[in-house]
Amino acid sequence: MIRSILIHPDPRLKKVCDPVTEITPELRLLADDMLETMYDAPGIGLAAPQVGVMKRMLVMDCIKDGPPEPMVLINPGVVWASEDVSVYEEGCLSIPDQYAEVKRPAEVTIRWMDLDGQDQERQFAGIWATCVQHEIDHLDGKLFIDYLGPLKRQMITRKMEKLKRERARAV
């Protein structure tokens, strides 16, 4: 099922999410729905709070061409980050049609639990590293616009408020 994606500003996008304590059928359904919602958008990542669920889970698939590589990460954490940084023009499904350059560690090692309850650890580079850091930020109530200066952030926020007013009028 495709779930609706919250648009900034929304207080739920500013909250720190709760750790997942149990893998339940509801959590598996949420992971399926999040992947479906991400592919439909389309996007390369999606975090649970973006669909209004305040749990530490994210999905991503940064494959452009070739067979899909869907990933579900539960309670992800950064265990190592490179000193090398990379700059990527980021977007966000909760901030439609707005893009800005964000500087982040170029490579990160992430530890997480998979849907079978198994611990996993992997090093990510390139767009995968950017995406996983962007999604973990969502779990901590942080958006890519929080890396921008106050004027740029305010300009984007005002545009989103206008978009939300227009969408509310259209229904």
Active site residues: 135
> Which phi and psi (to 5°) does residue 169 adopt?
-70, -30
What's the Cα-to-Cα distance from 49 to each of 26, 52, 84, 125, 143, rounded to whole Å? 15, 5, 29, 24, 12
CA dist., res. 69 & res. 64, Å (int) = 10
Q: Minimum Å distance from CB 129 to ligand K1U?
A: 10
State the binding partner of 35 from ligand K1U, Zn ion, none, CB within 5 to 8 A by kind: none
Six-digit token string for 32: 């399926």
Question: Which of 42, 67, 68, 150 is the binder for ligand K1U (CB under 6 A)?
Answer: 42
Which of 34, 74, 92, 145 touches ligand K1U (CB under 6 A)? Answer: 92
Q: How far is the CB of 99 from ligand K1U (least distance, A)?
A: 8
Contact pattern for Zn ion over residues 14 through 53, marking x by CB under 5 A: ----------------------------------------
Report yes or no: 83 and 56 within 8 Å, Cβ to Cβ.
no
- Does residue number 37 form part of the binding site for ligand K1U (CB under 6 A)? no
**Residue 61: which of ligand K1U, Zn ion, none does it interact with, CB under 5 to 8 A by kind?**
none
Q: Does 35 engage in binding with ligand K1U (CB under 6 A)?
A: no
Backbone angles phi, psi at 35, to 5 degrees: -65, -45
How remote is the C-alpha of 69 from its chain's centroid?
Answer: 16
User: Does 92 engage in binding with Zn ion (CB under 5 A)?
Assistant: yes
